Structure 1
């Protein structure tokens, strides 16, 4: 089958190649070996040059009038338009050149009317082509060609932010179990501790010389805070406890017959008792061997 590019490559066409393209569509369905019989019809169209040559010889022998090739040039016009052999008549460009010259003559005789020109090409007059529907077939081919033209893809307008090549993607959400979440929390804690523990140099320089800069206390962890609170809640040791811890124990030995020492006065303060930890040198101890009195109840 003939393609549009092959037809456009043919030189010396007497009419535009686009017009001949629609003539070929209707006349031969783009089959270069097509044969049209006047008053008859072939069972099928030839598929190669050999079948086409054999068929035209058979038709010629039997006296049939026929047209052949892409532009369906009638056998009576072959010699007039340079198609001096059947083989040449089935060639693409020679056949199209002959058909374009016939159509150009019809166009000139019709006064520049393409409809009448198509009717003239079909039947040799300006009427039969309209009556048999041939002219309408040419126009239908033209309409199909227009409808098959690829349409441009419509443009969809989008927002300026979306259209910007420099726009950035929205930040991805951070989950509590992700590494990014732990890094972010650690950075926040470090920044907070640093800002609380370090006094900005500018603020320290602008403060009066007599003013002592106060460093905010860093908040301790909950467990450590609880331990500190429990420690501070305990009462401070009293003076009596401190004096008792400092008192030195001095052992005293007495026999069973020694008199019991009198108890200290009730109104004596604990601090006075604790203030006299040592034994007076003038007091006598009945068990003291250095005084000559022995106690037979104890054996040392």
Structure 2
């Protein structure tokens, strides 16, 4: 899965939606997989592993008449024209979240007319986002799942390789059973040198290759 700084992405592409709410929706919809495809009354044998594979799969599903949703927020194929999406742009994380924000905001505005309480309206809008009405999402458990997912932390870009840092020293007392590593005596070094093959003059001029590869 593509690594995403989700907080920054949401702030840039869907500023009208709380990052906490957006993260909960995306976690429930795709598990933060930008190439996810959900087929209505069907299921893919496996999820696409690249944008090219996702686009090819979406094209095949469209040609076969399947109804399906794609991307981080699982935007349904029927909504693509309304939000200017194509088989390519629907998988773009920013465009996908922008479409999600527009749909969710529209649902919330409608829900506010029926609910004076903001949180009640938000939960009704989550049902609207998933099903197109204000009740199905409650019956299916979708609203409860998203609300529970909102308690999870918003993911940030994963650290694949850690930063270089010195190895810390553990202080020991003089009476500790753990003794410091003592330097080798000169006689020991001479014995080791006698056992090693001395480099020839020709080889000593050759550069030594580093064992560290970056």
Report the TM-score range of the alignment, normalised by the length of the smaller protein. Answer: 0.5 to 0.7
Aligned-partner Cα distance in 1 for 2:89–2:55: 11
Choose from 146, 152, 155 the match for 1:144. Answer: 152
Choose from 22, 25, 31 the match for 1:23. Answer: 25
Q: 1:6 Cα shift?
A: 4.2
Please list, as runs of the form range in 1=range in 2, the aligned pairs for 1:285-300 lying within 5 A after superposition.
none
Change (3 A) 1:11 1:53: closer
Who is 2:78 aligned against? Answer: 76
Aligned-partner Cα distance in 1 for 2:62–2:13: 30
Q: 1:145 Cα shift?
A: 3.4
Question: Retained in 2: the 8 A contact 1:7–1:21?
Answer: no
Please list, as runs of the form range in 1=range in 2, the aligned pairs for 1:109-124 lying within 5 A after superposition.
109-111=110-112, 112=118, 113-124=121-132
| Structure 1 unaligned blocks of 5 or more | 147-300
Change (3 A) 1:98 1:78: same
Aligned-partner Cα distance in 2 for 1:13–1:81: 17
Question: Retained in 1: the 8 A contact 2:13–2:94?
Answer: yes
Aligned-partner Cα distance in 2 for 1:135–1:65: 22
| Structure 2 unaligned blocks of 5 or more | 113-117, 155-214
Choose from 55, 62, 65 the match for 1:63. Answer: 65
Who is 2:179 aligned against? Answer: none
Who is 2:140 aligned against? Answer: 132
Please list, as runs of the form range in 1=range in 2, the aligned pairs for 1:32-71 lying within 5 A after superposition.
32-71=34-73
Structure number with larger C-alpha Rg: 1
Q: 1:70 Cα shift?
A: 0.6
Q: Please report the TM-score for the alignment, with normalisation by the length of structure 2.
A: 0.64
State the secondary structure of the residue aligned to 1:144.
coil
- How many pairs were matched up? 145
Question: Retained in 2: the 8 A contact 1:13–1:101?
Answer: no
Q: 1:19 Cα shift?
A: 1.2
Question: Retained in 2: the 8 A contact 1:7–1:17?
Answer: no
Who is 1:108 aligned against? Answer: 109
